[in-house]
Amino acid sequence: MLKNGETVENIIRLFDSKQESIKMLLKKVPEFQERENLIRTLQNHVKKRDEVIQEVENNLKACEVALTRSCFH
């Protein structure tokens, strides 16, 4: 018997239980890596889309200025 009334047998059971939990988590690692890769890919696509939207917005503003100048000058 160890401190706190723990037996070696109980400690071994707890250890085995933790080992099983770790093994189950390790089996999920590829799934989470795949999900992380998908998230990064989507973030890159959103960034590119935002850049295109910004460029279109800038072009529209330039067209508006040119149109306003041509109408009022």
pLDDT in tens, 54-71: 999 999 999 999 999 999
The model's pTM is: 0.62
Q: What is the pLDDT of residues 18-67, one digit of tens each?
A: 999 999 999 999 999 999 999 999 999 999 999 999 999 999 999 999 99
Give the confidence band of 73 by pLDDT, cuts at 50, 70, 90: confident
- Residue listed under structure tokens 């910004």: 54
| The two three-digit tokens of residue 3, written as one number | 């401190």
Handedness of CA 54, 59, 62, 64 (dihedral sign): negative
CA-based Rg of the chain, rounded to a whole angstrom? 30
Name the more confident of 72 and 46: 46
